[in-house]
Structure 1
Amino acid sequence: MQSETRRVNGIEVAYDLRGQGPGLLLLHGFPQTRAMWGPIAGTLATRFTVVTPDLRGYGGSGKPAEVADYSFRDMAQDQVALMAQLGFEQFHLVGHDRGGRTAHRLALDHGAAVQSLTMMDIVPTHLLLSDLNRHVAKAYYHWFFLAQPSPLPETMIGADPEGYFMSCLQGWGAADPEGFEAAQMAAYRKAWADPEVVRGMCNDYRAALEVDFDLDAADLGRQVTCPTLVLYGAEGAMAAAYDVAATWAPRCADLRAEAVPGGHFFPDTHPTETLAALNRFLPGP
């Protein structure tokens, strides 16, 4: 595995590179880093060149100052530019949580680059925010807490970063921290201890409400045209509140969907089942 940083789209993007073959881009979610893909990426690297970056604002990647710089459109442009620098004008794309929302925007804005799309444990951003019910609002309160003006959430989280983020894993994430690999948790804890990472993550959620909602509203009539897989945690908040596949059906021309054991963080806690689902969908020997 190679760990590198490249300047693309005006910021530094930290990433890991594994394997050989067609390009496969894996995008992590909140409150994680690219370390989340460790148990999965090594196996996929036997038939793909696997690229696992930190999203802007997260981990070792750049953390711009302005909220508007954290739109999923900007995050998607980072990844298209990174893959192009690495020699991949086309690639397969997988995203979990915020990475899944970035992947959806990337597939809309750069459809010719995406050979297949996998989104994990999300419903469309516009749907979640425009048709919000009390059960989702209670489960996913962090969307609205993190989006509060600076420095309120940063200050409150800063009093006990690990306590707050562990509450995310165990609360709405429905995960047992014992199910995470030690290397993953060590990487997450290191990121959570960095006030700049906390600021970047808050700006990500601020941008969802202030920028991404309007971008998605303008694109409600558009579909992702490549083969698309939606995976969701069988015991997660999204599966409890929505027919996850049905939320994506109008937005994807070629859709399949599948539940995976676990809650929201099933790629971390159930990597074997997650990998099996990806292998059934992704092309190759």
Structure 2
Amino acid sequence: MTQRTTVTAPDGVSLAVHTYTGIDPRRPTVLAIHGYPDNHHVWDGVAQELGERYNFVAYDVRGVGESSRPASRSGYQFTHLVDDIGAVIDSLGVGEVHLLGHDWGSIQGWAAVTDESVMGKVASFTSISGPHLNYAGRFLRSPRTPRAVADVARQFLASGYIWFFLCPGVPELAIRSGATMKVFAAVERIGRPRGAGSRPAATTRSIDDYLNGLNLYRANMPGPILAPPARLPQTRVPVQVLVARQDYFVSPALQRFTGSIPPDSRIVQIEGGHWVVTSHPDVVAQHTSDWVNSVVAFDTPRNSL
């Protein structure tokens, strides 16, 4: 069970924050951010693994789970998403947190750790299956060898669902018909061990999680991918990228590319598909713990960019 509190974002949206453990200021705090079309429950298995050693907190992204919905689509833009992360961190009263993000949660995490307003509040970041969108755009323009061209082509095909989500009205019809849920449930089985006991994320999602979460795509894409800036965002936060080998949506090649942002990053390949956080929560927890401990133990310096 979690303890639920409410944090009000700067624009008035109510964010449901779920604390899996008591907040002990003597322990590192892990703040987890879920992706689409999930809610905070996607982290239940990881929280169970980490709860004895860390403060573990997750929140429902705006419009999803128990959080309220912005008045308009513009309320899902990165500016608000980054503000949300900052507001949740401030509410915990622990100073810095160790961010853990999956899918759109990781995309938001990249936006936060490259934003000066939040960067100083984050001690480390573990990214899973979610690139910085500007770096994704650069990746699609990066091939110089036949193998690199193949990697980009593979990612371009895997990202075809994005254009579908951007179509007005059509994704809503697919969601209400149940077809989208079946597709996601099928993809979620990729990389899942036989007899895996962890609960699939599909069992915890509501139709509103699917419908409202579409606004993440529509408010923030495709601009950063089609026209990345000449100078890509930088961060001083130590970053770990966990690369799921069987990820259907975010290719290992793209995930390794996003890991090039900070000079002290670490890239670790792990078994599993896109929903490795539910299929292999013990693996995700172990690597997260290793990264947090290394940052805490060595107090990684953050030199000025």
Task: Return the match for 1:81 from 87, 95, 99.
Answer: 87
* Of 13-22 and 253-262, the range deviating more from structure 2: 13-22
Task: Return the match for 1:187 from 204, 207, 211.
Answer: 204
Residues 75 and 212 (structure 1), Cα distance of their counterparts in 2 relative to 1, 3 Å cut:
farther
Is structure 2 residue 65 aligned with structure 1 residue 46? no
Is structure 2 residue 266 aligned with structure 1 residue 256? yes
- How far, CA to CA, are the matches of 1:173 and 1:125 in structure 2? 26
Q: Tell me by how many angstroms 1:50 deviates.
A: 1.5
Contact 1:57–1:204 (Cα < 8 Å) also in 2 = no
Q: Tell me by how many angstroms 1:82 deviates.
A: 1.6
Q: After the TM superposition, which residues 145-156 of structure 1 pair with which residues of structure 2 at under 5 Å, given as runs?
A: 145-149=164-168, 151-156=169-174
Residues 164 and 53 (structure 1), Cα distance of their counterparts in 2 relative to 1, 3 Å cut:
same
Q: Tell me by how many angstroms 1:240 deviates.
A: 4.7
Q: Tell me by how many angstroms 1:274 deviates.
A: 1.2
Larger radius of gyration: 2
SS at match of 2:35: coil
Contact 2:99–2:109 (Cα < 8 Å) also in 1 = yes
- How far, CA to CA, are the matches of 1:108 and 1:169 in structure 2? 33
Normalised to the residue count of structure 1, the TM-score between the two structures is: 0.85
Q: Tell me by how many angstroms 1:179 deviates.
A: 4.2
Normalised to the residue count of structure 2, the TM-score between the two structures is: 0.80
Deviation string, structure 1 residues 215-239 (Cα, Å, up to 9, x no partner): x934843321121100011122367
Q: Which residue of 2 aligns with 1:205?
A: 217
* Number of positions where the alignment pairs a residue of Structure 1 with one of Structure 2: 275
- How far, CA to CA, are the matches of 1:175 and 1:12 in structure 2? 35
Point out the structure with the larger helix share. Answer: 1
Q: What is the percent sequence identity of the aligned residues?
A: 22
Task: Return the match for 1:231 from 239, 242, 263.
Answer: 242
SS at match of 1:226: coil
Q: Which residue of 2 aligns with 1:7?
A: 8
CA RMSD of aligned residues (A): 2.7
Code of the residue aligned with 2:9 in structure 1: it is: V
- How far, CA to CA, are the matches of 1:137 and 1:218 in structure 2? 20
Q: Tell me by how many angstroms 1:119 deviates.
A: 0.6
Residues 66 and 274 (structure 1), Cα distance of their counterparts in 2 relative to 1, 3 Å cut:
same
Code of the residue aligned with 2:238 in structure 1: it is: P
Contact 1:124–1:248 (Cα < 8 Å) also in 2 = no
Deviation string, structure 1 residues 125-152 (Cα, Å, up to 9, x no partner): 1243462744323322221111223x33
Contact 1:116–1:228 (Cα < 8 Å) also in 2 = yes
Residues 183 and 234 (structure 1), Cα distance of their counterparts in 2 relative to 1, 3 Å cut:
closer
Task: Return the match for 1:119 from 122, 127, 130.
Answer: 127
SS at match of 1:237: coil
Q: Which residue of 1 aligns with 2:154?
A: 135
- How far, CA to CA, are the matches of 1:242 and 1:85 in structure 2? 36
Q: Tell me by how many angstroms 1:96 deviates.
A: 0.5
Residues 231 and 221 (structure 1), Cα distance of their counterparts in 2 relative to 1, 3 Å cut:
same
Q: Which residue of 1 aligns with 2:144?
A: none
Q: Which residue of 2 aligns with 1:34?
A: 40
Listed as ranges, the gaps of 5+ residues in structure 1 are: none
SS at match of 1:224: coil
* Of 59-68 and 90-99, the range deviating more from structure 2: 59-68
Q: Tell me by how many angstroms 1:157 deviates.
A: 1.7
Residues 138 and 212 (structure 1), Cα distance of their counterparts in 2 relative to 1, 3 Å cut:
closer
- How far, CA to CA, are the matches of 1:182 and 1:3 in structure 2? 21
Residues 241 and 25 (structure 1), Cα distance of their counterparts in 2 relative to 1, 3 Å cut:
closer
Q: Which residue of 2 aligns with 1:174?
A: 190
